[in-house]
A and B are shown apart, each in its own frame.
Chain A
Amino acid sequence: MIAASAFAQSIEFSPEERARILSHGPWPAVHELDSSNRVDGNPIAIELGRKLFSDHRLSASSKRSCASCHDPKRAFQDGLRSTRHQRNTPTLLDVGQQRWFGWDGATDSLWAASLAPLAAKSELAATPAHIAALLRRDRTLNVAYTALFGEATADAANETILVNIAKTLAAFQATLVSPRTPFDEFRDALAQNDSAAIAKYPSAAQRGLKTFVGEGKCFFCHSGPAFTNGEFADVGRPFFTKSGADPGRWGGLQQLFTSPYNRLGQYADGGAQSAVATKHVIQEPRNFGEFKVPSLRGLLGTAPYFHDGSARRIEDVVQHYSTVDESRLHADGEKIVRALRLTPAQARDLTAFLKSLSGASSRKSK
């Protein structure tokens, strides 16, 4: 056992718990370039994507841009309970670490995920012709585009131009990384057995962390440096919508399989090697009502929570897992999620830990 704090209440972690804590770092994690996007990591693409991200001319109405919902001042989300499809707008911070995109994983690449809101009538409503025309008439955009993809001649297919623009947007978003947090300092100190640095991490957060990697089993789904396994789960939240129910991952997979923009399609770079997960993913009845396991990094700046934004505060999220209605979970389905039945003190500690997953700027404003 390792004493992890010099505070009044010394927290001890078992070797298993220590290993789990260390698995949540180091941070920032290395971004592996997306082989389905040949301009991922290219500085020109990143800069072009950065400009376009806030460019209202991308929308049919010239009134909206990606930043309208993914506001850079709000951790690249909008703070609203739910918008399109009655879902909460997810943050784009650390989006480059993901495998599936959106609450339902309807897309398998960041560029395809960027394409969807560009074309959606309820969002930017941009046609391929609209995007291509903008590119051809704006000299600055055209120069950067040509450097990346070759000249956008009059003969070039508008659809291809649209996809390429989405790839630059993806290249930019892949650079959005959440800052280091008090937890990261603690984790690295633990790795180095640095007692003085370990002691700087509040004991309440340490106790909450112990629940997280211990009895709470939270780490099982919220795993790795990004605190997500990148997959989908039913955690007992209602998912009715005004017109029925949100199919979640079930509907996402239907969209993925039929999309011409998935990694198996003609627009993906990198060939079959980049499409292994897409080729083998299967659709199962249990997927109905499952939603993406979100990252827990930057939580203080990304309220509200859950797929529909139905939890206003981190405390509300903890309360859900403490009292989750187990009768909503299939007896042989989601075995990990069970009511934690936390005492008020334990709930406060778990909340303190979750808040410690945010960087200094978020913490100052809360």
Chain B
Amino acid sequence: MCLAVPGRIESVREEQGTRMGKVNFGGVVRDVCLAYVPEALVGDYTIVHVGFALSRIDEAQALETLRTFAEMGLLEEGLAEIRGEVPDGESVPCPLPPAEAPRR
């Protein structure tokens, strides 16, 4: 099964009475049901699992956790280093299975 992964909402529409949208996962765009996150808008990040957005990622809380790390002295550069958009290309909804590992 696919892990729930974060993506950015690109568009929102109604389809047969259900709230749907396009969500971008590091470059891969998929149709996602937004019925469970009526508060999520275009530009928001959301956790998506098997085609359904389950939770809007709380930007303030995401920063708060990083700020805690910074206060613990864990983030060398602190918040100054936190970038707005970091394209990583790693988050796709259904990663292909890894190549067979070598046998010992």
User: Do they bind each other?
Assistant: no
Residues of A within 8 A of B (CB): none
Residues of B within 8 A of A (CB): none
